Amino acid sequence: MDPVRTEISAAGVATLTIANPPVNALGAAVRAGLLSGLTAALANADVRAIVIAAEGKVFVAGADISEFGKPPVPPSLPDVLSAVEGSAKPVVAAINGLALGGGLELALACHARVAAPAARLGLPEIKLGIIPGAGGTQRLPRLVGAAPAFAMMAGGEPVSAEKARAMGLVDDIADGDLVATAATQALRLAEAGTWPRSGAAESKFSAEDRAAFETAASDAIRKSPRMPNVAALAHAVRVGLEKGLAEGLAAERAAFLELVKDPTSKALRHLFFAEREAARVPGIGKEVKARPVASAAVIGAGTMGGGIAMCFAQAGIPVTLIEVKEEALSAGLARIRSNYETSVKRGSLTSEKMERHLGFITGRVGLEAAAEADIVVEAAFEDMGVKAEIFGALDRLAKPGAILATNTSYLDVNAIAETTKRPQDVVGLHFFSPANVMRLLEIVRGAKTAPDVLVTSLDLARKIGKLPVVVGVCYGFVGNRMLAKRTQAAERLLLAGAMPHEVDDAVTDFGFRMGPFAMSDLAGLDIGWRARKATGAKAPVADALAEQGFFGQKTGRGFYRYPEGARKGERDPDTEALITRLSDERGITRRSFSREEIIARLMYPMVNEGAKILEEGIASRSSDVDVVWVNGYNWPNFTGGPMHWAEGVGLARIVEALDALAAETGDDSLKPAALLRRLAQGGSFADKDAA
Ligand code: 3H9
């Protein structure tokens, strides 16, 4: 199908309609189609004015991101847009839906913009590690002012049609026929014989506007030290303000081309596609249909269960929250209300919405209340006996075809499924805490989980605003299994000579918001301690702290100490003395570690575990592992996730370091996975994903 169609009306309006599903991205064929459509319309004496419209729900979602990093195919988008802006006949954009990135830049190059009421307009390039590269940094400021334009580009979030009109970004909102309204507007401009060019206007640049832009720019640069594109964005806008359009466009183009090659942008683009790829489950096609889910039940009104119930309620799915005792239920319901009230106080939720959400949650005592639910999510105590009892009861109670999900973080989903006579209906839905906030959802596929249960889980995940990744059954699944490796490595570093703050500083310097020890103190050292007691595992430092009753922040002491009211820990001389003593007892000569060594010792074992996870088929692709870690554990997104990052480091280097670590510690589990060894000879995780 022609990606750009032209129709000419009797009144002399040529409508160029972009049709490039799914999102009308401006790939090479669309760019060529727009240019030839425009050229033909200009050459046609019957055409007086031009409308650029699009088919489907989206106007244009931007440049085709999959073309980035490949040899450019002419015509370039900036060239097409210059032709639009310089057109000898007026061009009006009919914005039917989302206009993002290059899509909004296309509209900006037009001489007027008419939007549908539901349209949204934005320049999200910043989130991909780049800046608008087809005039956005120049035309938007000229249209709406430098400070509002910078705010829009630095934030990356789209604005509504209404807001866009208030800003001066769109000229009109069409309640009725959008293309007809745009055509009328285009003819009006043709009649007047003159039309505005957003690239030409300089008038908005008042001294106040410039000052507000400069303040916002230095703020944004300070807040995003890892993102080279923020400074580049400010620079391009500034050049345009100071030296005019042509130099501004040149500065923008140069920065765009540099940034596209930057590892940060490569990493962010990798994640963009990885997140979308994660929704595809090998072997399960479109013929598998989801089961209907009109109601849910959540068992366990603790923090996790309450958070999960909130997710359903926010998506408008009625949910029954179930507890064994009235007191636990009331406490759980009160916690949910108080969470919402905090959001209302912060201004992120209206009280009306809060009441609407709460209206979808019903509390009940006793498992019988789960009988009518289409999906039951168990979020009870992490104990196989408890889970077996609940699933046994659900097997008797739940209606036929109901999905029985467990929110276990570690336990064997197959064993849980076998406590029922319907293992095909059992699946793991591993939410991350706080469940109403964290985007990641590990969907754990049991050996007998039915394909339509997986498809329903994926569907539901998206409905409740989660980012799903399908994983297989093993201890800790993808995320926690790799985390265990980091936790073990962090303990080893303490015994070998590093102090908690040195490890945490290296990790925050790497880009995490928190280091592993600050994180343990926040989560509570008692949790891991009890889990280790159950399995016989050891973590000498954490165990010694927990045995003294030092559970982290909640007790005021842990890896750090927390004087009254302090949220950030201080170095604790007693903890440090304890660590030194534990090293001495083991005959270890303590030594210092550079930040680089600390990162290698913490992260390489994780990458190795990730490779084992791939070998075992627990994750379908390395990019799924990246999605899990970036969205569930705050791995810095600008590095693309652990597996993408590892390729940048060099797999051969990691293999060599792991061999050395295994020899030093005597821990054979640190020996490189066969897959890692093989890829280190020449290959990449990405090749394996594609295979
Ligand atoms: C840019 O414009 C640079 C310019 O300034 C300068 C150039 C010189 N390209 O997300 P979905 C695919 S940078 C290629 O699942 P939704 C996506 O991979 C760009 N492909 O749907 C998926 O494919 P598949 C600035 C794209 O409804 C399918 O479309 N623009 C692009 O949840 C459906 O996507 C952006 O950053 C693209 N630009 O969300 C916007 N966009 O089915 C990026 C989507 O094979 N896009 N695809 O997996 C989005 O934010 C969302 O896709 C959107 C739809 C909100 C549009």
Provide the residue ranges of all domains of the chain, joining segments of one domain with +: 4-260, 296-471, 499-585
* Beta strand ranges found along 392-493 (DSSP E): 403-406, 426-431, 440-445, 467-472
Tell me how far apart the alpha carbons of residues 675 and 610 are, in angstroms, rounded to a whole number: 10
Report, in angstroms and rounded to the nearest whole number, the Rg of the chain calculated over CA atoms.
28
Name every residue whose Cβ is closer than 8 Å to that of residue 611 and which is 6 or more positions away in sequence. 672, 673, 675, 676, 679, 685
Cβ 210 vs Cβ 125: under 8 Å: no
Q: Is the CB of 134 under 6 A from ligand 1?
A: yes
Q: How far does the centroid of ligand 1 lie from the alpha carbon of residue 491, in Å?
A: 42
Q: Is the CB of 300 under 6 A from ligand 1?
A: no
Ligand 1 atom nearest to 127, measured from its CA = 36
**Residues designated catalytic:** 105, 125
Pairing of strands 440-445, 112-115: unpaired
Rounding to the nearest 10 degrees, give the CA dihedral for residues 622, 624, 628, 629: 30
ipTM metric: 0.99
**Chain center to CA of 174:** 33
State pLDDT tens for residues 232-249: 999 999 999 999 999 999
Of 3.30.450.20, 3.40.50.720, 2.30.30.90, 3.40.50.1110, which CATH number belongs to 296-471? 3.40.50.720
Name every residue whose Cβ is closer than 8 Å to that of residue 451 and which is 6 or more positions away in sequence. 284, 288
Name every residue whose Cβ is closer than 8 Å to that of residue 404 and which is 6 or more positions away in sequence. 376, 378, 391, 394, 395, 398, 420, 422, 425, 426, 427
- Residue among 18, 20, 23 whose CB has most ligand 1 atoms within 8 A, to mutate: 23
Helix (H, G, I), strand (E, B) or coil at 321: strand
pLDDT given for residue 204 in this prediction: 67
Cβ 115 vs Cβ 202: under 8 Å: no
Q: Tokens in use for 11?
A: 């009144």
Tell me how far apart the alpha carbons of residues 284 and 21 are, in angstroms, rounded to a whole number: 23
Token pair 């994903």 in the structure block, residue:
689
Rounding to the nearest 10 degrees, give the CA dihedral for residues 608, 614, 615, 618: 120
Nearest C-alpha neighbor of 354 from the set 436, 299, 293: 436
Q: Tokens in use for 383?
A: 């104990």
Q: Tokens in use for 458?
A: 């994926």
Ligand 1 atom nearest to 66, measured from its CA = 14
Residue nearest to atom 9 of ligand 1 (CA): 64
Q: What is the side-by-side order of every strand in the sheet holding 91-95? A: 4-8, 13-18, 49-54, 91-95, 112-115, 172-173
* Beta strand ranges found along 359-514 (DSSP E): 361-365, 375-378, 403-406, 426-431, 440-445, 467-472
Cβ 689 vs Cβ 622: under 8 Å: yes
pLDDT given for residue 565 in this prediction: 72
Cβ 611 vs Cβ 481: under 8 Å: no
Q: Is the CB of 38 under 6 A from ligand 1?
A: no
Residue nearest to atom 49 of ligand 1 (CA): 61
pLDDT given for residue 201 in this prediction: 67
> Does residue 434 have a cis bond before it (omega within 30 degrees)?
yes
Tell me how far apart the alpha carbons of residues 683 and 642 are, in angstroms, rounded to a whole number: 17
- A 10 A CB-CB count for 653 gives 13
> Mean pLDDT, consecutive 10-residue segments, the chain of 691 residues?
94 98 97 98 98 98 94 95 97 98 98 98 97 97 96 98 97 96 98 87 81 97 94 97 93 97 96 94 92 97 96 98 96 97 96 97 97 97 93 97 95 96 98 94 97 97 97 94 96 98 98 96 89 86 96 94 87 97 96 98 98 96 98 96 97 98 95 96 82 69
Identity (one letter) of the amino acid at 445?
R
Cβ 492 vs Cβ 540: under 8 Å: no
Nearest C-alpha neighbor of 149 from the set 130, 127, 168: 168
Residue nearest to atom 23 of ligand 1 (CA): 276
**Chain center to CA of 442:** 14
Q: Is the CB of 605 under 6 A from ligand 1?
A: no
Q: Is the CB of 490 under 6 A from ligand 1?
A: no
CATH class of 4-260: alpha beta
Ligand 1 atom nearest to 273, measured from its CA = 18
Q: Where are the alpha helices (DSSP H) in 145-244?
A: 146-155, 161-167, 178-192, 207-223, 228-243
Q: How far does the centroid of ligand 1 lie from the alpha carbon of residue 124, in Å?
A: 10
Q: How far does the centroid of ligand 1 lie from the alpha carbon of residue 266, in Å?
A: 15
Pairing of strands 159-160, 120-122: antiparallel
pLDDT given for residue 614 in this prediction: 96
**What predicted TM-score, i.e. pTM, was given to this entire model?**
0.94
pLDDT given for residue 76 in this prediction: 96
Tell me how far apart the alpha carbons of residues 634 and 631 are, in angstroms, rounded to a whole number: 6
Tell me how far apart the alpha carbons of residues 119 and 52 are, in angstroms, rounded to a whole number: 15
pLDDT given for residue 203 in this prediction: 61
Specify whether domain 499-585 bears CATH 3.40.50.150.
no
Q: Is the CB of 158 under 6 A from ligand 1?
A: no
Token pair 């498809």 in the structure block, residue:
455
CA distances in angstroms from 491 to 34, 568, 606, listed in the order given: 60, 21, 14
Q: Tokens in use for 407?
A: 């929110």
* Beta strand ranges found along 490-595 (DSSP E): 560-561, 570-571
Cβ 333 vs Cβ 298: under 8 Å: no
- A 10 A CB-CB count for 188 gives 14
Nearest C-alpha neighbor of 625 from the set 492, 498, 478: 478
Q: Is the CB of 275 under 6 A from ligand 1?
A: no
Q: Is the CB of 220 under 6 A from ligand 1?
A: no
